[in-house]
């Protein structure tokens, strides 16, 4: 029996060794109907195998999906075909769903095709964050240089402008005030960049994330998000996160402020803040066989216009911004804080649904070990 024949036999025999695979595997019959699926495929397709067997694969993917074309190519060539970064997301299985597809014919059954999907989403997002963190380290060196080469001379320029202001006519004082205001603005920008060079150990403790979020909501309601709808969807049973409370407040203030600015004055604008326990996301610790679990999920979602597609891969890099007068350091700092805590932040964006999702380790009771493991786990 050929390799594809053995795979097809395994796929059609009910619970098999294929159920141990983390990747979805489907057997598509010659008429396009799904004939069998492993457990991962049931989760991926959001349907039980008994439901899947009653439908053609075309019922689960968008009209004209590249997946359907790929199946036809396999049938025509009678040879395996691989396709990378294919979005097969649909309302039925969720969107977006970007996968690598391995499709192979079943030699004993002409027209039958075995499909295996490999999701790229999490791996790419983690890789993207590591790239952003490397960019943040570049800002660290730049900040140190600016503090010495620019910040000190600026204080002299501002002092000189103050002295000149006392001796010039009233109509010229607007110019000296402009000099002082602009030097103050540049100093503030350098101060924000200097945060990236702070390498002191983070002071952490077990933190109830809902206390943090309640505090952030009160600040938001009385300031930049006044009058805007903020919906809270919390899991009250969450264990504490081992973190610096003040830094978490800074993170969520930044994210909710961005969401507030995204929805603007839209009367239907809404910000959703949610917490949940999501077991299953684990990162390897370099140099050991140990893996760190990131089961705590914190999300800030808005129904604004979304992030431009070309900016999305670079969103957490320094100096990347969609705002006219933005510095592009806010989200870079958020990513640095979450990374320093051993977590991961990602962004999914489409029109009327932008979600910033933070994954962090739970407090285990061994604070020192937790700190060491999580700080190494995503480096």
Secondary structure (3-state) at 226: coil
Q: From CA 320, how far away is CA 327, in angstroms rounded?
A: 8
Q: Does 205-377 carry CATH code 3.60.150.10?
A: no
pLDDT, tens only, 58-92: 999 888 888 998 999 999 988 888 887 788 888 77
CB 277 within 8 A of CB 359: no
CB 62 within 8 A of CB 51: no
Kindly state the percentage of the chain with pLDDT values over 70: 73
| pLDDT at 317 exceeding the cut of 80 | no
pLDDT, tens only, 176-220: 888 888 888 777 766 665 555 556 677 889 999 999 999 999 989
pLDDT bucket at 301, cuts 50 / 70 / 90: very high
Written out in words, the top-level CATH class of the domain with range 3-119 is alpha beta
Higher pLDDT, 38 or 283: 38
pLDDT, tens only, 13-44: 444 667 777 788 999 999 999 999 988 888 88
Q: How many C-beta atoms lie closer than 10 Å to residue 358's C-beta?
A: 26
Same fold for the domain at 3-119 and the one at 205-377? no
Return the DSSP state at 49.
H
Higher pLDDT, 141 or 87: 87
| pLDDT at 113 exceeding the cut of 50 | yes
pLDDT bucket at 294, cuts 50 / 70 / 90: confident
Distance of CA 163 to the CA centre of its chain: 50
For the chain, domain boundaries: 3-119, 123-197, 205-377
């Amino acid at each position: 029996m050929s390799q594809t024949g053995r795979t097809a036999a395994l796929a059609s025999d009910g619970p098999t060794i294929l159920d141990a695979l983390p990747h979805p595997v489907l057997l598509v019959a010659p008429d396009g109907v799904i004939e069998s699926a492993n457990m991962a495929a049931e989760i991926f397709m959001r349907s039980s195998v008994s439901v899947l067997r009653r439908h053609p694969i075309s019922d689960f993917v968008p009209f004209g999906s590249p997946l359907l074309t790929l199946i036809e190519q396999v049938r025509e060539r009678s040879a395996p075909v691989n396709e990378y970064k294919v979005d097969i997301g649909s309302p039925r299985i969720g969107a977006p769903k970007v996968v690598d597809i391995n499709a192979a014919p079943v030699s004993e059954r002409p027209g039958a095709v075995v499909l295996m999907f490999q999701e790229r989403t999490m791996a790419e997002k983690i890789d993207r964050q590591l790239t952003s963190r490397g960019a943040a380290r570049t800002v660290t060196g730049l900040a140190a240089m600016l503090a010495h080469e620019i910040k000190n001379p600026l204080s002299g320029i501002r002092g000189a402008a103050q002295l000149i202001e006392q001796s010039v006519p009233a109509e010229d004082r607007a110019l000296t005030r402009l000099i002082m205001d602009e030097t103050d603005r540049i100093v503030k920008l350098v101060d924000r960049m200097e945060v990236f060079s702070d390498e002191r150990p983070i002071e952490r403790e077990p933190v109830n994330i809902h206390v943090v979020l309640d505090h952030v909501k009160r600040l938001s309601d009385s300031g930049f998000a006044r009058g805007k709808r903020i919906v809270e969807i919390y899991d009250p049973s969450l264990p504490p996160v081992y973190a610096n409370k003040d830094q978490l407040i800074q993170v969520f203030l930044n994210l909710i402020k961005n969401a507030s600015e995204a929805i603007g004055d839209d009367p239907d604008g809404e910000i959703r803040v949610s917490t949940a326990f999501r077991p299953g996301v684990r990162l390897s610790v370099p140099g050991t066989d140990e893996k760190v679990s990131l089961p705590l999920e914190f999300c800030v979602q808005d129904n604004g216009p979304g992030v431009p597609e070309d900016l999305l891969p670079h969103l957490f890099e320094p100096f990347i911004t969609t705002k006219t007068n933005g510095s592009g350091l806010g989200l870079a700092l958020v990513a640095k804080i979450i990374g320093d805590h051993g977590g991961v932040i990602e962004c999914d964006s489409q029109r009327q649904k932008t979600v910033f999702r933070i994954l962090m380790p739970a407090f285990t009771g061994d604070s020192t070990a937790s700190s060491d493991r999580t700080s190494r786990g995503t480096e």
